[in-house]
Amino acid sequence: MIENQLWHPVIASTQVRDVPVGVALLGEAVVLWREPGHDGGHGVVHAWADRCPHRGAKLSLGRVLNHLRGARLECPYHGWQFAGDAAAAQVGANCARCVHVPAAPEFVPPVAHAATAFGAREANGLVWVRLVQPDAGLPAALTEPPTFEPWADSEWRQLLCGPYDVHTSAPRLVENFLDLSHFGFVHEGWLGARSHAQVETGQVQEGADGLQANDCKAWQPRGYAGAEGGAWVAYRYTVPHPYAAILRKDAAEGDPVSNAIALFIRPDGAERCTAWFAMATLGDLADDEELREFQDTVFAQDRPVVESQVPKRLPIGKDGAVGEVHSPADRMSSAYRRHLLRLGVSLGVC
Ligand code: FES
Ligand SMILES: [Fe+2]
**Domain boundaries of the chain, sorted by first residue:** 2-138, 146-343
Q: Which of 52, 74, 81, 107 to mutate to test the pocket of ligand 1 (most atoms within 8 A of CB)?
A: 52
- Could you tell me which residues come within 8 angstroms of residue 107 by beta carbon, excluding any fewer than 6 positions away? 101
Give the confidence band of 145 by pLDDT, cuts at 50, 70, 90. Answer: very high
CA 299–ligand 2 middle distance (angstroms): 7
* CA pseudo-torsion sign 22, 129, 27, 268: positive
Say which ligand is closest to the CA of 177.
Answer: 2
Are the C-beta atoms of 130 and 116 separated by less than 8 Å? no
Average pLDDT, the chain: 92
5-9, 41-45, 162-166: segment of lowest average pLDDT: 41-45
Provide the H-helix boundaries in 158-253: 170-178, 183-186
Flag whether pLDDT at 95 surpasses 80. no
CA 60–ligand 1 middle distance (angstroms): 12
| Dist. CA 97–CA 115, nearest whole Å | 6
CA 51–ligand 1 middle distance (angstroms): 9
59-63, 184-188, 199-203, 334-338: segment of lowest average pLDDT: 199-203
From the candidate CATH numbers 2.102.10.10, 2.60.120.560, 3.40.190.10, 2.30.30.60, the one assigned to the domain spanning 2-138:
2.102.10.10
Flag whether pLDDT at 184 surpasses 80. yes
Pairing label, strands 96-100, 81-83:
antiparallel
- The atom number, within ligand 1, closest to the CA of 78 reads 3
Flag whether pLDDT at 157 surpasses 80. yes
Are the C-beta atoms of 278 and 177 separated by less than 8 Å? no
**CB-proximal residues (5 Å) to ion ligand 2:** 302
Q: pTM of the prediction?
A: 0.94
Give the confidence band of 129 by pLDDT, cuts at 50, 70, 90. Answer: very high
Flag whether pLDDT at 85 surpasses 90. no
SS3 18: coil
Residue nearest to atom 3 of ligand 1 (CA): 78
CB 167 less than 6 A from any atom of ligand 1: no
Higher pLDDT, 76 or 92: 76
CB 54 less than 6 A from any atom of ligand 1: yes
Percent of the chain with pLDDT over 70: 96
Say which ligand is closest to the CA of 80.
Answer: 1
Residue nearest to atom 1 of ligand 1 (CA): 55
Superfamily for the 146-343 domain: Naphthalene 1,2-dioxygenase Alpha Subunit; Chain A, domain 1 (3.90.380.10)
If one counts every other C-beta atom within 10 angstroms of the C-beta of residue 44, the result is 18
